[in-house]
A and B are shown apart, each in its own frame.
Chain A
Amino acid sequence: MHVVSNLAKSCLLATVIFWIIAGTDYMDMDMILVIFLSFIPIFFIATIVILGSIYVIFWLRVNENFSKRQVYKTFYPYYAIIAFGIAVFGIISSGFDIYIIAFFTSAFITTSQSWIWFAKEKQR
């Protein structure tokens, strides 16, 4: 599986979504450096989450009899529902803080897209 390209795309997507949402609260010229630096923590979080939850499912379940498409169709619905539940809980617990909303929204969208990138890779 193309883990590195998946992580790179996910990291970029997460950063864009995070700052589109967080930027609605406050944004100016000085923030550009912060935005670029934010790639580092976002990359670490994306790596941990994607490798620890999505990649491991594909790695464990994909075999000759069980395709990536089947893995996606079997596990993604439950993954999405649990991830959404955690995101809603986190957002409500934070009192709808804009940075928390940005974090969980970017995490949910990025992990969902990451599932698709993994599932759509051609199986060897």
Chain B
Amino acid sequence: MKHILIGIAAILFSILFYEQRIGLNLSIFSLATIAILAFYNPKAFKNRYTIIHTILYIATAIVAFMQHSYISIIANCVAFFTLIGAVSEGKTSIYVYWLNGLYTSIAGFFHRNFEVNDDVEKVSLKKDIDIIHLTKLIGIPLVFIVVFILLYKNGNPMFNNLVSKISFEFINVQWILFCVLGYYLFSNISKPIIVESATLADLNTKNELVKPDDVSEEKLKKEKQLGTTLLGLLNLLIVLYIITDIASLIIGEDTSAPTLSSLVHNGIYTLIASIVIAIVIILYFFRGNLNFYTENRTLKNLTFLWIFLNIILIALIAIKNQNYITSFGLTYKRIGVHIYILLTLAGLITTFLKVLNIKNMVFLFRRNTQIAFIVLILMSTINWDQTITAYNLKHANGFDVNYLINLSNRNAILLNDKKDALSISESDKNRISTKYRTYMITLRQRDWQEWSYENFLIEDNNSNSE
């Protein structure tokens, strides 16, 4: 039964993906994956972590069909590994889910093959030997028969004629190999495995710092003094910087593109790097025993102030970036800066929680990877090309039409609808029309496996116009 179900899934895999681009096939594959996982691991699907990750995986499959963007495909793949990892061992961190999911998908067969010999159940051992024996029984004679037929062909013209009449052209070997690949993949994921060393280490690591038995009071006092001095001075410096930054934002009138560009691009990355260094400094001082030192109140307060001031710094960076976007429109780079800011903010908040609740570094790593995963999934739900185009045409004081035309085809319909209302050159309008036509042709030429939501949209438009 196991082999039959995986065999069917393998044929489905080949039908879905052989010589096809990504589209509806990815969503169907996601559902087939869930079906296979649920069939072979019913117990795991009673676990709430598995249920949550199954829902997330289905959501990314729907998003991949709706959005048909690279980020939605990446999010779907990450959710695939996460779900498999959750089935293999639900109580680990999300990065161990990824590790187990990846390992299961690519090497599950070899791992199980390695385990077979250690298995004391002779029945299952016998089954495996039978399969290997059967493969040998068919494979070896087949190889030799083919070799000898090819050799005999030259020795006898009549035999050559006879053999030449045999044609296997109707068999697509590549399609069959694709089926084998599908079988390998589905067989791997049917019984998820774990990377033992990483999984056990993660299961044994808690989020809380453990209070040490013996602590050198003298050493801690010196470390506290160093931390207080450093953080005190850094707080003063950052206050001074924030005052000047606010002043320059209020007073500054030079909003030319090069000035804003230099302000945003040169400034932001340096500032974000400084925030990351700030987090590292905090983590250094609160890495261990100082968390339990009775006289650490001042240092803790200075740390909280330092985190709060860094959050203000982040808000200022976000304002600068937003000013830039308002003046010159949205681009992927500017959206990237906003996402970068959001992740840094999340990093600062988790650092605050770490110091407040006396957590360890693993806590930080766990929470931040979870946040990164959620951000990836949320970002994948947006059609960025369409959003950038719509925003720039509606709200931006100025925009680069070349940039909009050079974006992927997912903004082609919107651009074509709006082109007549825009004050752009005729050649640009022609480029937009060409982009739209090319996109319509591409959509119509897609096989059903490659369909996305847009295929149904144009079908609807066509039937309405008829």
Which of A's residues lie within 8 Å of B, judged by CB? 20-21, 23-24, 29, 32, 69, 72-74, 76-78, 80-81, 84, 112-113, 115-116, 119-120
Sample 27 A-B pairs with CB under 8 A, ordered by A number.
A23-B173, A32-B147, A69-B118, A72-B114, A73-B196, A73-B197, A74-B196, A76-B107, A77-B103, A77-B111, A77-B195, A77-B197, A80-B107, A80-B110, A81-B103, A81-B107, A84-B106, A84-B107, A112-B107, A112-B110, A113-B110, A115-B114, A116-B110, A116-B113, A116-B114, A120-B114, A120-B117
User: Distance in Å from the Cβ of A98 to the closest Cβ of chain B?
Assistant: 8
Closest to B174 in A: A24
Query: Complex Cα distance A112/B103, Å?
Result: 12
Instruction: Flag if A81 contacts B114 (CB, 8 Å).
Output: no
- 3 A-B pairs closest in CB distance: A80-B107, A77-B195, A24-B173
Closest to B113 in A: A116
User: Distance in Å from the Cβ of A4 to the closest Cβ of chain B?
Assistant: 22
Query: Complex Cα distance A81/B107, Å?
Result: 8
Instruction: Flag if B107 contacts A32 (CB, 8 Å).
Output: no
User: Distance in Å from the Cβ of A54 to the closest Cβ of chain B?
Assistant: 13
- Size class of B's contact patch? 20 to 34
B9 CB–A CB distance under 8 Å: no
Which of B's residues lie within 8 Å of A, judged by CB? 99, 102-103, 106-107, 110-111, 113-114, 117-118, 147, 150, 153-154, 173-174, 177, 195-198
Query: Complex Cα distance A81/B99, Å?
Result: 9
Give the residue of B103, B150, B195, B197 whose beta carbon is less than 8 angstroms from that of A29.
Answer: B150
Q: A20-B177, A32-B150 are in contact. Are A77 and B113 (CB under 8 A)?
A: no
Closest to A31 in B: B150
Q: A20-B177, A119-B114, A120-B114 are in contact. Are A81 and B102 (CB under 8 A)?
A: yes
* A29 proximity list for chain B (CB < 8 A): 150, 153-154
Query: Complex Cα distance A77/B96, Å?
Result: 12
User: Distance in Å from the Cβ of B415 to the closest Cβ of chain A?
Assistant: 30
* B174 proximity list for chain A (CB < 8 A): 24
Closest to B175 in A: A24
* A112 proximity list for chain B (CB < 8 A): 107, 110
Query: Complex Cα distance A113/B117, Å?
Result: 14
* A23 proximity list for chain B (CB < 8 A): 173
* B197 proximity list for chain A (CB < 8 A): 73-74, 77
Query: Complex Cα distance A32/B152, Å?
Result: 13
Query: Complex Cα distance A69/B115, Å?
Result: 9
Name, among A20, A32, A69, A77, the residue most crowded by chain B CB atoms within 10 Å (CB to CB): A77
Given contacts A29-B150, A77-B198, A113-B110, 18 further A-B pairs with CB under 8 A are A20-B177, A21-B177, A23-B173, A29-B153, A76-B110, A77-B111, A77-B195, A81-B99, A81-B102, A81-B103, A81-B107, A84-B102, A84-B106, A115-B110, A116-B110, A116-B113, A116-B114, A120-B114
